[in-house]
Amino acid sequence: MTEALERVSEGNLDLGLRLIKQARGRNDLRALRISRLGEAVGRHLDVLAGKFGDDPDALLWLGSARVSLAWEIRGGGYAKYVTQDAFRGFREVLETAAEPLFHAADLVPDDPVPWQCLQWFGLGMSLPRPELDRFWAETEARDPGLWAGRHARLQTLCEKWRGSNEEAYEFAKETALTAETGNPVVAMLPLAHFEIAERRMLADDGQHDHELIVKSHFSRAEVRQELAETTDRWMSAPHDHPMTTEARHLFGAAFYYGGDHDRARRIMTDLPMRIPEWLPWGSASVLPRRTYLKVRRELGV
């Protein structure tokens, strides 16, 4: 995939569209490819907009790419840290994502991926909560276990966006309890805990070391127990799934910070060096890659 992304970034849009079409019906793979190719198409967005007409896969790609570009302009920080110019550019680009995404959804009615992209569109545009709930309902109706769909919904429910710690946690817990055995989407549970720990760090206002706050959260007996039960159920019959690596990072970091280094070691063995962009390794450090390498050395993986 790395070579394909490089070729797309150089302007080979036919290759990118072919990869998206090949993944139709395999929703998690399709969502992942849409995300990665949306980032790769970058400076060729104008060409993409005019090259393939009303092809639904191209429209989905275009809308997703515009969503990705908009959030890149905004950055991942809290609103109070985003400049007015960044906000302006963010909204200007994001507004152009809706039309191709809705069109793609109309052309392929059973595809959940346009709707999961629209969750990020709606969140960025500060749409009313009922509209955000509708985008999630449309996603869930088409694929309730879609990683990207549940990830977008979890972010919507987080306290930093449009919900609360309680809503985010209950949603993640429900995901872990109802997911098919072996589906790594159960990693929404450690992800929710990292989001909650992040809010604790924000409320702490720098009085304590961030890593200590994260360790304190994951060391709680009830957190360790529910994460252990969840990961044991997942690993009893793990699926071949495109998001398995991300799930292993989330569970591995959660167990490491919680002091269960044996579980962390088992889950993190043979993980690649590439890490997720922010969580989990950026939760307690502004240098997530350095933190990840330190943890690997400590665990001997």
Domain boundaries, the chain: 1-143, 163-301
Residue 79 — pLDDT band, cuts 50, 70, 90?
low
Angle among Cα 264, 270, 272 to the nearest 5 degrees reads 105
CA dist 139 and 120 (Å) reads 12
Average pLDDT on 138-162 reads 96
The string over 192-221, giving b where at least 16 C-beta atoms fall within 10 Å of a residue's C-beta and e elsewhere, is: bbbbbbbeebeeeeeeeebeebbbebbeee
Task: Check residue 209 and give its pLDDT.
Answer: 82
The answer, yes or no, to whether residue 25 has pLDDT greater than 60, is yes
CA dist 7 and 31 (Å) reads 19
Give the pLDDT confidence of 267-289 residue by residue, as tens digits.
Answer: 999 999 888 877 899 888 888 99
Average pLDDT on 181-195 reads 96
Task: Check residue 101 and give its pLDDT.
Answer: 98
Of the chain, the percentage scoring pLDDT greater than 90 comes to: 80
